[in-house]
Structure 1
Amino acid sequence: MNAVASIHSAVSAPNQFVEVGGRTLAYRSIGEGRPLVLCTRFRGNMDVWDPAFLDGLADEGFRVITFDYSGLGLSTGEATYNPAEMARDPIDLMAALDLSDVVLGGWSLGGMAVQVAFAVAGARISHLLLIGTTPPGPLVKPAEQLFFDTAVIEDYALKEEEILFFEPKSQASRKAAAESSARIAERTEGRSPVVPIAFARANIGDGPKNPIFPADAVLEVLKTTTKPILHLGGDHDIIFPVENWYALNQVLPTLHLITYPSAGHGPQHQYPRASAEHIASFVRSTS
């Protein structure tokens, strides 16, 4: 692990704050090197990332930055789960921290937000990293109702985590779920407040939609960009099936696809080290 990351691992990284656009954004930073900014999932805050994944990225030479969305966790401002409005957070954070040549990443709902950010303010962004998310436009495979029924449970336990982020049919995936959950629980101080359940329930809907992400302008940018895009997925993602990305082969000219076996919506938590190494290799080989 590099010198900075050895002082501040994901478990011990201090909360930091920056004033921008009339609100305070809370963030954490580990490692040093090329900036990699990560936008979190539905009901996510800085504490839902697996420390093994974040530390793995720091080991690979990235400065890894996670943050809480406006109005959620430790950040102030008005909360929203509209990707077009959420995109303002990573855009403003990159500007406030004076970051350039950024690998901008997003998991799930965060993946939609970073696609918007990439489309409207891509000058600071060198690579787009998408994890367990959906492309814009019509889908060839819809989500499963099971996700919507499970994601709104207020205090879900390991069983629900297996359903939401792993592959319950796989013993290896269930084991990985338990190990990841234990790592995430290692941070005991300075944790972010959880996303209010009423806010989450009001912003998820009651079942699958097609498209989930109706953003024609964003799709057109992805079709014409020369900047590299990586989607990291699991072969059984119950909310954002990877089949929808494979349907865009030969449509998105810079799209790279990595799909892990017997994995679900959180492949980077089931395969934290492999995910970090694949991301680093992708960035190095396409820079």
Structure 2
Amino acid sequence: MNTVKQNGATAETIDTSLFFEQTETSRAAGLEYLERLARRKDNRAPLVRPESVQAQIKGAMAWGTKSSFDQLGEIKQPVLVANGDNDIMIPTINSYMVSQRIPNAQLIIYPDSGHGFLFQYADLFAEHVSMFLNRD
């Protein structure tokens, strides 16, 4: 296997435990994702900056209040809620609870995956999003 470098780290040194399960199949999918990412050279979106990560964490912490959770029932448009079956960053049970509070929500849980389910199941996730957006 070629060594994949991303921001100076190799695939072997990147801690993928937040995004992928520690199973052989999930870790292999994580490495495949890193290889796809490394191949794309042109028209690439910039990597997420640390300031953006901190802002997202701050927003997630503020959102977790009871009042914002209760407001989910006010959402009228269809919502696709997706997660890995063992997401330790955004616990999978939260996706279930969110989907139960939004009147027109569809929940999809991807097996053998964590927070990086959309990278692990990129083609399937894209198909599910397309089906969701193009439904009658």
> Shorter chain as normaliser: what TM range?
0.7 to 0.9
Quickly say closer, same or farther: Cα 1:187–1:250, change in 2 above 3 A: closer
Structure 1 residue 247 displacement after superposition: 2.5
CA distance in 2, matches of 1:237, 1:214: 17
Q: Which runs of 5+ in 1 are unaligned?
A: 1-47, 49-153
CA distance in 1, matches of 2:46, 2:83: 28
Q: Secondary structure at the match of 2:16?
A: helix
Q: Is it true that 1:185 corresponds to 2:38 in the alignment?
A: yes
Q: Which runs of 5+ in 2 are unaligned?
A: 1-5
TM-score by length of 2: 0.73
Counterpart of 2:114, as a letter, is G
User: Any residues of structure 2 matched to 1:1-287 within 5 Å, and which?
Assistant: 156-158=9-11, 159-168=13-22, 170-189=23-42, 191=44, 194-197=47-50, 199=51, 211=61, 213-214=63-64, 216-217=67-68, 219-220=70-71, 222-285=72-135, 287=136
Quickly say closer, same or farther: Cα 1:203–1:253, change in 2 above 3 A: closer
Query: How well do the aligned residues superpose, as a CA RMSD in angstroms?
Result: 3.1
Between Structure 1 and Structure 2, which shows a larger proportion of helix residues? 2
Q: Secondary structure at the match of 2:134?
A: helix
Counterpart of 1:177, as a letter, is G
CA distance in 2, matches of 1:192, 1:248: 29
Counterpart of 1:162, as a letter, is T
CA distance in 1, matches of 2:43, 2:80: 32
Check conservation: 1:161, 1:177, Cα contact below 8 A.
no
Quickly say closer, same or farther: Cα 1:250–1:280, change in 2 above 3 A: same
Structure 1 residues 15-52: Cα deviation after superposition (integer angstroms, max 9, x where no partner): xxxxxxxxxxxxxxxxxxxxxxxxxxxxxxxxx9xxxx
Counterpart of 1:257, as a letter, is L
Counterpart of 2:93, as a letter, is E
CA distance in 2, matches of 1:183, 1:258: 24
Check conservation: 2:82, 2:95, Cα contact below 8 A.
no
Between Structure 1 and Structure 2, which shows a larger proportion of strand residues? 1
CA distance in 1, matches of 2:111, 2:129: 17
Q: Secondary structure at the match of 1:185?
A: helix
Counterpart of 1:163, as a letter, is S
Structure 1 residue 250 displacement after superposition: 3.8
Quickly say closer, same or farther: Cα 1:257–1:196, change in 2 above 3 A: closer
Structure 1 residues 144-186: Cα deviation after superposition (integer angstroms, max 9, x where no partner): xxxxxxxxxx865434352131112x11111111111111111
